[in-house]
Amino acid sequence: FFSSFVWLPMADTVTIRAGAIVLRGAVLSGKVTVGAGTIVHPSVSILAEDGPIVIGENNIIEEQCVITNKGADGLRDVEGMPPQTLTIGDNNVFEVGSQILSLNVGNCNVVEAKAVVGSNVSLGSHCRIGAGCQVVAAEVIPDHTIIYGRDNTRRTDPGYTQPSLYPEQRDFLRRVLPNFHPLQTTAAP
pLDDT band for position 187 (cuts 50, 70, 90)? very low
For the chain, the C-alpha Rg in angstroms (whole number) is: 16
Q: What is the pLDDT of residues 1-10, one digit of tens each?
A: 333 334 444 4
How far is residue 162's CA from residue 177's CA, in Å, rounded to a whole number?
23
Q: CB–CB of 98/77 below 8 Å?
A: no
| Percentage, residues of the chain above pLDDT 70 | 85
Q: What is the pLDDT of residues 87-133, one digit of tens each?
A: 999 999 999 999 999 999 999 999 999 999 999 999 999 999 999 99
| Percentage, residues of the chain above pLDDT 90 | 69
What does pLDDT average to over the chain? 87
How far is residue 130's CA from residue 107's CA, in Å, rounded to a whole number?
17
> Can you give the pLDDT at residue 164?
67
Q: What average pLDDT does this structure show over 131-142?
A: 97
Q: What is the pLDDT of residues 148-179, one digit of tens each?
A: 999 999 999 988 877 666 788 888 898 888 88
The distance of Cα 102 from the centroid of its chain, to the nearest Å, equals: 10
Q: pTM of this prediction?
A: 0.86
- Reduced to 3 states (helix: H, G, I; strand: E, B; else coil), residue 24 is strand
Q: What average pLDDT does this structure show over 134-158?
A: 96
Q: What is the pLDDT of residues 7-66, one digit of tens each?
A: 444 445 899 999 999 999 999 999 999 999 999 999 999 999 999 999 999 999 999 999
